[in-house]
């Protein structure tokens, strides 16, 4: 399949110009054909690329209606929204403060201004938020797996 795709992408050299143009119609046909083959292969397999089982008769509508799922979504929202607001405020404070005020332009340590310290703090904040989010996302994933397992066993919560 790859060799077929590469042969259809043969450039057409036009005159003395050094630019190459591709045969677009043939390329589109090949890409579509490759996509259809890939989708057909995915439909025939019983596992996703992540290794999990697909099509096990999970009723996602029932899961979405369950009380445990609603609590999970509320917990995620209570965590993600404040975290995003904090990140955006912390991130946009630096350009606003340096543009419209002189507070961060004053020296802090020698010739290093508070703007540089604040910018360094943004890197630390980003890493910290990533670690916090990763830990919290793992707990959300375990709750989601519990919900799916309960639904597969026929339990409703």
Please state the rounded mean pLDDT for residues 27-32: 52
Mean pLDDT of the chain: 75
- The predicted pLDDT at position 42 comes to 52
Same domain, 141 and 70: yes
Provide the domain count of the chain.
2
Contact 121, 46 (CB under 8 A): no
33 and 67 share a domain? no
Question: Residue 21: which residues within 8 A CB-CB, separation 6 or more?
Answer: 11, 12, 14
45-100 pLDDT per residue, tens: 544 444 445 556 677 888 888 899 999 999 999 999 999 999 999 999 999 998 99
Same domain, 101 and 35: no
> Do 32 and 7 sit in the same domain of this protein?
yes
Is residue 72 located within the same domain as residue 29?
A: no
Q: Determine the Cα–Cα distance for residues 13 and 137; give it in Å rounded to an integer.
A: 52
β-pair type (112-113, 107-109): antiparallel
Task: Answer yes or no: do 114 and 149 share one domain.
Answer: yes
Is residue 40 located within the same domain as residue 69? no
Range of the structural domain that residue 86 is part of: 60-153
Q: How far is CA 106 from the centre of its chain?
A: 38
Q: What is the dihedral of CA 18, 24, 27, 29, to 10 degrees?
A: -170
Q: What is the DSSP letter of 109?
A: E
Q: Would residue 146 count as lying in a domain?
A: yes
Question: Would you say residue 83 lies in a domain?
Answer: yes
Q: Please give the backbone phi and psi of residue 49, each rounded to the nearest 5 degrees, phi first.
A: -65, -25
pTM beyond 0.85: no
Q: How confident is the model at residue 8 (pLDDT cuts 50, 70, 90)?
A: very low
């Amino acid at each position: 399949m790859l060799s077929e795709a590469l042969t259809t992408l043969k450039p057409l050299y036009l005159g003395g110009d050094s630019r190459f143009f591709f045969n677009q119609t043939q390329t589109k046909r090949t890409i579509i054909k490759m996509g259809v083959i890939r989708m057909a292969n995915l439909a025939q397999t019983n596992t996703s690329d992540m290794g999990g089982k697909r099509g096990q008769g999970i009723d996602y509508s029932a899961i979405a209606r369950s009380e445990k799922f609603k609590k999970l979504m509320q917990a995620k929202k209570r965590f993600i929204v404040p975290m995003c607001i904090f990140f955006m405020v912390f991130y946009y404070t630096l350009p606003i403060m340096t543009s419209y005020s002189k507070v961060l332009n004053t020296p802090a340590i020698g010739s290093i201004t508070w703007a540089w310290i604040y910018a360094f703090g943004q890197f630390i904040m980003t890493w910290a938020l990533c670690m916090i989010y990763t830990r919290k996302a793992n707990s959300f994933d375990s709750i989601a797996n519990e919900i799916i397992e309960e639904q597969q066993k026929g339990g409703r919560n």
